[in-house]
Chains A and B, each alone.
Chain A
């Protein structure tokens, strides 16, 4: 960063190099992390496939081609270009189902992150801002949620709400709330003692203004990172619930559900099981790479 402003700048403004715009600075640091850029590219690609599934996918995700049951992928013996990644046990095109599954997985990530972020942010802000009893009660409750293994809690909540995609999203959201609440609270408490907060309090800012407009923007960096990583947790956990039969129900082309419903063809037709898993792995990996890159680019302590 440029720190070459002369000391007599007050008397005679000298043309100095303007500090780079925060976004430009962020992009500069982000771009140096090849992994993160790769992650971003993959995510954009998946998003394009997901949004354009209607146009790009060669077949309907639920169309059953009874003449082509368990067709192997194109490069294997007996495969054809008609079904590039093969078909499943009732003759549905695996590739098309994966494209439509991408739509679901991104949607799951988006909804879970939005829901849990909104609730966690609210709870964390109140705990960090109000303190005292409210803080104790909220954080003790978060500790209780954290005492249960996250997948177990999600499984139990899904079992209680009943299987289904929406309930699975809800239960995964509940499980990750404490992470956001803790992060927000910690960031909030660190900021509350700063001078600029006191200044705007003295200037007469009300609690809501202080919380949301003054302090919150300065707490966002760790939350952005956590939210990005939250996409991968959400996609993984929702797929795990689908795999256990507690998530999306067949014939929904959700990746975990696809895996579970073709389990008995593992030996005869490995491709039915392989590709949904590859899709999950690639998507989750991309979000993790992006999250790591964001953390490095947004954390001022790591910058040179």
Chain B
């Protein structure tokens, strides 16, 4: 087991270095100087430019800049925002819980709806349910989620007035952030009105962000279930006289879940990408919206650090899924591990 963990960790190191290099070099590819570009048409005095360049280390050789950058990253220094002058890491940590809360809820929605839908489609293969569920999930998979979000806002917020249009909490309420998760913080504060408000704010964005994972989970569950349902042990279980509920719920589902769990893990990257759009539409104060704002403000150090942090998060989750997979499935642990 230890060997398996170490090999997996060993594979992550070069990828991490590569992503660090990529985020470093991408910012250097901006045509012109990051500082001059940021100053735009107002221009900047040559002395002040030289000073700023020196401050940011831009006047040193590239390899030295990279070495400094890696050194900084390893000691937790991801640079400093040009706009707010806060460390990028602390900005990221402040905003990340909002994105995480949104992503977790979106995933909860995707699994809660997608898993049963996939099971029903597989068990009633070829029926109206199957065709309907598969058509719906392919549509969901093809959905431009920025437009989907607008449609839902139009329907539920504008016409029906059920949910708020943007943000995480009504301005009426203020809750001292403890965990950064609005639902938990409002709960801890014992303010039920605020809790309800937070929940209302969370619903639509979570549905929008969860739409594509939902489609993926439903499709994957269906095909995994179909494969498992054709196995001999299912026939044996049926022959023993077990009822459908037991055969499907216990024997089939358990084995069908392995590929489904993997797919759920792989959706994390997609969701962090989707968060960029979802958070922009709903003015959700998370990492995705922050990255888009950094681009618009030409805050390149924030962009560089943010990209690296998001990539690191994705890699960490993928590693976790891999390791969990190894724990759950001994064949992988001992086989190619």
Which positions in A face B, CB cutoff 8 Å? 35, 140-141, 143-145, 147-152, 155-157, 159-160, 162, 232, 236, 239-240, 243-246, 256, 259, 263, 266-267, 270, 273-274, 276-277, 280-281, 284-285, 288-289, 292
Q: B270's contact among A145, A149, A157, A273, by CB below 8 Å, is which?
A: A149
A177 to B328, CA, bound (A): 32
Measured between alpha carbons, how far is A141 from B15 in the docked complex, in Å?
Answer: 8
Q: What are 27 residue pairs bridging A and B, where the CB atoms are less than 8 Å apart in the complex?
A: A143-B15, A144-B15, A144-B18, A144-B19, A147-B314, A148-B19, A148-B307, A148-B310, A151-B277, A156-B307, A160-B26, A160-B30, A236-B142, A240-B277, A243-B144, A244-B277, A256-B144, A259-B146, A259-B147, A263-B150, A266-B158, A267-B158, A273-B151, A273-B154, A277-B148, A288-B141, A289-B138
Complex Cα spacing A232 to B142, Å: 8
Q: How many whole Å from B168's CB to the nearest CB in chain A?
A: 21
Indicate if the CB atoms of B26 and A152 lie closer than 8 Å.
Answer: no
Interface contact A281-B15, CB-CB below 8 Å: no
Q: How far in angstroms is the closest Cβ of chain B from A76?
A: 15
User: Roughly how many angstroms separate A150 CA and B138 CA in the complex, as a whole number?
Assistant: 20
Closest to B138 in A: A288
Closest residue of chain A to B18, judged by CB?
Answer: A144
State whether the Cβ of B126 lies closer than 8 Å to any Cβ in chain A: no
Q: Are A155 and B276 in contact, with the CB atoms below 8 A?
A: yes
Contact (A147, B315) CB under 8 Å given A156-B303, A244-B292, A288-B142: yes
Q: Which of A232, A239, A266, A281 contacts B150 (CB 8 A)?
A: A266
Residues on A with beta carbons closer than 8 Å to the beta carbon of B314: 147-149
Report how far A274 CA is from B280 CA in the complex, Å. Answer: 18
Q: Contact partner of B310 among A143, A152, A274, CB < 8 A?
A: A152
Given contacts A266-B153, A273-B150, contact A149 B144 (CB under 8 A): no
Residue from the list B144, B274, B291 in contact with A284, Cβ < 8 A: B144
Q: Cβ of B144 and Cβ of A148 under 8 Å apart?
A: no
Q: Which of B142, B272, B292 contacts A281 (CB 8 A)?
A: B142
B86 at the interface (CB under 8 A from A): no
Is B72 part of the binding interface, using a Cβ–Cβ cutoff of 8 Å?
Answer: no
Chain B positions 4-40 with a Cβ under 8 Å from a chain A Cβ: 14-15, 18-19, 22, 26-27, 29-31
Residue B93 at the chain A interface, CB threshold 8 Å: no
- Answer whether residue B112 sits at the interface, using C-beta atoms and an 8 A cutoff: no
In the complex, which residues of chain B have a beta carbon less than 8 angstroms from the beta carbon of A280?
144, 147
CA gap between A285 and B143 in the complex, in Å: 8
- List, in ascending order, chain A residues with CB within 8 A of B147's CB: 259, 273, 276-277, 280-281
Give which listed residue, A159, A239, A245, A292, contacts B144 with CB less than 8 A: A239
Q: Count A/B pairs, Cβ under 8 Å.
A: 120
**Complex Cα spacing A151 to B270, Å:** 8
Q: In the bound complex, do residue A150 and residue B151 qualify as a contact, i.e. CB atoms below 8 Å apart?
A: no
Complex Cα gap A45–B273 (Å): 32
- For the complex, give the distance between the alpha carbons of A72 and B226 in Å: 47
The smallest beta-carbon distance between A292 and chain B, in angstroms, is 8
Whether B276 and A162, one on each chain, are in contact in the complex, defined by CB atoms closer than 8 angstroms, is: no
What CA separation (Å) do A35 and B26 show in the bound complex?
A: 42
Residues of A within 8 A of B158 (CB): 266-267
Residue B139, interface by CB 8 Å: yes
Complex contact A267–B295 (CB within 8 A): no
A151 and B276 form a contact (CB under 8 A): yes
Q: Is B326 an interface residue (CB 8 A)?
A: no
Instruction: Give the residue name and chain of the B residue nearest to A274 (CB).
Output: B151
Instruction: Name which of A141, A147, A160 has the most chain B CB atoms within 10 A of its CB.
Output: A147
B273 contact from A140, A152, A162, Cβ within 8 A:
A152
Separation of A48 and B115 alpha carbons in the complex (Å):
39
A-side contacts of B148, CB under 8 Å: 277
Instruction: Point out which of A152, A159, A277, A280 has the most chain B C-beta atoms below 10 A from its C-beta.
Output: A152
User: How many angstroms from the CA of A249 to the CA of B272 in the assembled complex?
Assistant: 25
**Min CB gap A170→B, angstroms:** 12
Cα separation A132 to B303 with both chains bound (whole Å):
35
With both beta carbons as reference points, the residue of chain B lying nearest to A148 in the complex is identified as: B311
Q: Give chain A residues whose Cβ lies under 8 Å from the Cβ of B310.
A: 148-149, 152
Q: Would you call B150 and A140 a contact (CB within 8 A)?
A: no
CB distance from B86 to the nearest CB of A (A): 21
Q: Report if B269 contacts A (CB, 8 A).
A: yes
Q: A156-B303, A281-B144 are in contact. Are A149 and B269 (CB under 8 A)?
A: yes
A160 to B295, CA, bound (A): 9
Please report the C-alpha to C-alpha distance between residue A259 and residue B318 in the assembled complex, in whole angstroms. Answer: 34
Residues of chain A with a CB closer than 8 A to B270's CB = 149-150
Contacts of A232 in B (CB 8 A): 142
Given contacts A144-B15, A148-B19, A244-B280, contact A266 B146 (CB under 8 A): no
Write out the residue numbers on chain B whose beta carbons fall within 8 Å of the beta carbon of A160.
26-27, 29-30
- Smallest CB separation, A103 vs chain B (Å): 18
B26, B139, B295, most chain A CB atoms within 10 A: B295
User: Chain A residues near B292 (CB, 8 Å)?
Assistant: 155, 244
- With contact pairs A140-B15, A143-B18, A160-B27 given, residues A152 and B276 touching in the complex (Cβ less than 8 Å): yes
| B18 engages A140 (CB within 8 Å) | yes
Contact B14 A140 (CB under 8 A): yes
Q: Which residues of chain A have C-beta atoms less than 8 A from B311's C-beta? A: 147-148
